[in-house]
Structure 1
Amino acid sequence: MGTFRMGMRQVIACCAAIALTVTAGCTSKSEEQATAQARNLVIGATAQPQSMDPTTQSGAAIPQALLYNLYETLVKIDGEGQIKPLLAQKWTTSPDRLTYTFDLQPKAKFSSGDPVDAEAVVANIERIQTQKNVLPTLKKQMAVVAQATATDATTVTVKLKRPSQAWLYDMASATGAIADPKSFSTLASTPVGSGPFSFDEWKQGESVALKRNEHYWGTPARFDHVRFRYFADANSMSSAMLSGDLDIISDLTAPEALEQFQDPSRFSVVEGTSNGEVVLGMNQGKGGNPALKNVKVRQAIVHAIDRKALLDSVWGGKGTLIGSMVPPTDPWYEDLYASQPYDQAKAKKLLKEAGVTNLKLRLRVPTLPYGPSSAQFITSQLKAVGITVTVEELDWARWLKEVHDGGNYDMTIVSHVEPRDIVKFADPTYYWHYDNPAFTKLVERADASTEAEQVALMKQAAKTLSTDAAANFLWLFPRIAVTKADITGMPANATSASFDVTTLASRNG
Structure 2
Amino acid sequence: MQQLRLTRTRRVALIGLSGALAVSLSACAESKREEGAGGGSGGTMIFGAAGNPKLFDPIFNDEGETFRITRQIFDTLIQNKPGTADLEPSLAEKWEPSNDGKTWTFSLKQGVKFSDGTAFDAAAVCFNFDRWYNMKGAAAQSQMIYYADVFGGFAKNESTDYSDPVYKSCEAKDPATAVVNLNKAKGAFPAAFTLPSFSMQSPTALKQYKADEVTQSGDSFTYSEYANKHPVGTGPFKFDSWDQGKGEITLSKNETSPTQTAKLDKLIFKVIPDENARKQALKAGDIQGYDYPAPADYGLLRNEGEQVLVRPPFNVLYLGINQSGPAGEKLKDVKVRQALAYGINREQFVKSKLPEGAEVATEFVPKTISGYTDDVTKYPFDQAKARQLLQEAGATNLTLKFYYPTEVTRPYMPNPADVFTSISEDLKAIGIKIEPVAKPWNGGYKDDVQKFGKQDLHLLGWTGDYNDAGNFVGTFFGRKKPEFGFDNPQLFQALANADASPAGDAHAKAYQEVNKQIMDYLPAIPISYGPPAIVVGPKVKGLVASPLTDERFNTVTVN
Please report the TM-score for the alignment, with normalisation by the length of structure 2: 0.79
> How far apart, in 1, do the equivalents of 2:359 and 2:480 lie?
27
> How far apart, in 1, do the equivalents of 2:472 and 2:120 lie?
29
Q: Which amino acid aligns with 1:506?
A: T
Question: What are the equivalent positions in structure 2 for 1:39-58 lying under 5 Å apart?
Answer: 39-58=43-62
Q: Do structure 1's residue 281 and structure 2's residue 320 form an aligned pair?
A: yes
Q: Which amino acid aligns with 1:500?
A: R
Q: Quickly say closer, same or farther: Cα 1:73–1:472, change in 2 above 3 A.
A: same
CA deviations over 1:126-177 (Å, ceiling 9, x no partner):
1111113143531342331111111111110011111111143222113311
Secondary structure, counterpart of 2:493 in structure 1:
helix
Paired residue for 2:64, among 60, 69, 73? 60
Paired residue for 2:187, among 157, 162, 165? 165
Q: Quickly say closer, same or farther: Cα 1:336–1:195, change in 2 above 3 A.
A: farther
CA deviations over 1:99-133 (Å, ceiling 9, x no partner):
11101110221110111111111111111111131
Q: Do structure 1's residue 413 and structure 2's residue 453 form an aligned pair?
A: no
> How far apart, in 2, do the equivalents of 1:272 and 1:429 lie?
30
Residue 289 of structure 2: aligned partner:
248
Q: Quickly say closer, same or farther: Cα 1:204–1:432, change in 2 above 3 A.
A: farther
Residue 150 of structure 2: aligned partner:
141
> How far apart, in 2, do the equivalents of 1:387 and 1:178 lie?
48
Secondary structure, counterpart of 1:182 in structure 2:
helix
Paired residue for 2:257, among 216, 224, 242? 216
Residue 391 of structure 1: aligned partner:
436
Q: Which amino acid aligns with 1:233?
A: D
Q: Do structure 1's residue 71 and structure 2's residue 74 form an aligned pair?
A: yes
Segment of structure 1 superposing worse, 428-437 or 388-397: 428-437
> How far apart, in 2, do the equivalents of 1:71 and 1:96 lie?
30
Question: What are the equivalent positions in structure 2 for 1:350-389 lying under 5 Å apart?
Answer: 350-367=389-406, 368-369=408-409, 370-389=415-434
Please report the TM-score for the alignment, with normalisation by the length of structure 1: 0.87
Q: Do structure 1's residue 450 and structure 2's residue 502 form an aligned pair?
A: yes
CA deviations over 1:71-100 (Å, ceiling 9, x no partner):
111111233212221110111111222111
Q: Do structure 1's residue 340 and structure 2's residue 379 form an aligned pair?
A: yes
CA deviations over 1:348-368 (Å, ceiling 9, x no partner):
121122221200001111113
CA deviations over 1:26-65 (Å, ceiling 9, x no partner):
xxxxxxxx99984212222223212112222443322121
Q: CA deviation at 1:19?
A: 6.9
Secondary structure, counterpart of 1:474 in structure 2:
strand
> How far apart, in 2, do the equivalents of 1:310 and 1:287 lie?
27
Q: Is the 8 A contact 1:269 1:483 kept in 2?
A: yes
Q: Do structure 1's residue 431 and structure 2's residue 498 form an aligned pair?
A: no
Secondary structure, counterpart of 1:290 in structure 2:
helix
> How far apart, in 2, do the equivalents of 1:337 and 1:223 lie?
48
> How far apart, in 1, do the equivalents of 2:363 and 2:335 lie?
17
Consecutive unaligned residues of structure 2, counting only runs of 5 or more, are: 1-33, 152-164, 211-224, 410-414, 466-470
> How far apart, in 2, do the equivalents of 1:47 and 1:336 lie?
38
Q: Which amino acid aligns with 2:513?
A: Q
Q: Quickly say closer, same or farther: Cα 1:43–1:434, change in 2 above 3 A.
A: farther
Q: Which amino acid aligns with 1:121?
A: V
Q: Do structure 1's residue 297 and structure 2's residue 336 form an aligned pair?
A: yes
Residue 388 of structure 2: aligned partner:
349
Residue 10 of structure 1: aligned partner:
none
Q: Quickly say closer, same or farther: Cα 1:288–1:358, change in 2 above 3 A.
A: closer
Paired residue for 2:268, among 211, 227, 236? 227
Q: Quickly say closer, same or farther: Cα 1:251–1:145, change in 2 above 3 A.
A: same
Q: Quickly say closer, same or farther: Cα 1:47–1:312, change in 2 above 3 A.
A: farther
Q: CA deviation at 1:411?
A: 0.8
Paired residue for 1:238, among 275, 279, 287? 279
Secondary structure, counterpart of 1:65 in structure 2:
helix
Q: Which amino acid aligns with 2:90?
A: L
> How far apart, in 2, do the equivalents of 1:275 and 1:70 lie?
24
> How far apart, in 1, do the equivalents of 2:201 and 2:39 lie?
30
> How far apart, in 2, do the equivalents of 1:364 and 1:395 lie?
11
Residue 28 of structure 1: aligned partner:
none
> How far apart, in 2, do the equivalents of 1:247 and 1:314 lie?
26
Secondary structure, counterpart of 1:302 in structure 2:
helix
Residue 80 of structure 1: aligned partner:
84
Q: CA deviation at 1:403?
A: 2.2
Paired residue for 1:324, among 355, 363, 367? 363
Residue 155 of structure 2: aligned partner:
none
Q: Is the 8 A contact 2:355 2:531 kept in 1?
A: no
> How far apart, in 1, do the equivalents of 2:327 and 2:259 lie?
49
> How far apart, in 1, do the equivalents of 2:325 and 2:297 lie?
41
Q: Do structure 1's residue 459 and structure 2's residue 512 form an aligned pair?
A: yes
Q: Which amino acid aligns with 1:257?
A: D
Q: Do structure 1's residue 262 and structure 2's residue 262 form an aligned pair?
A: no
Q: Quickly say closer, same or farther: Cα 1:336–1:472, change in 2 above 3 A.
A: farther
CA deviations over 1:254-302 (Å, ceiling 9, x no partner):
11111212238x3222112243322111112255532112111111101
Q: Is the 8 A contact 1:287 1:407 kept in 2?
A: no
> How far apart, in 2, do the equivalents of 1:293 and 1:204 lie?
42
Q: Which amino acid aligns with 1:86?
A: S
> How far apart, in 2, do the equivalents of 1:219 and 1:72 lie?
9
CA deviations over 1:485-508 (Å, ceiling 9, x no partner):
333344444325x43223x42373
> How far apart, in 1, do the equivalents of 2:436 and 2:108 lie?
50
Q: Is the 8 A contact 1:103 1:154 kept in 2?
A: yes
Segment of structure 1 superposing worse, 432-441 or 171-180: 432-441
Secondary structure, counterpart of 1:458 in structure 2:
helix
Consecutive unaligned residues of structure 1, counting only runs of 5 or more, are: 1-16, 21-33
Residue 12 of structure 1: aligned partner:
none
Q: CA deviation at 1:198?
A: 0.5
Residue 120 of structure 2: aligned partner:
116
Residue 306 of structure 1: aligned partner:
345
> How far apart, in 2, do the equivalents of 1:202 and 1:411 lie?
34
> How far apart, in 2, do the equivalents of 1:125 and 1:470 lie?
33
Q: CA deviation at 1:437?
A: 2.6
Q: Which amino acid aligns with 1:461?
A: V
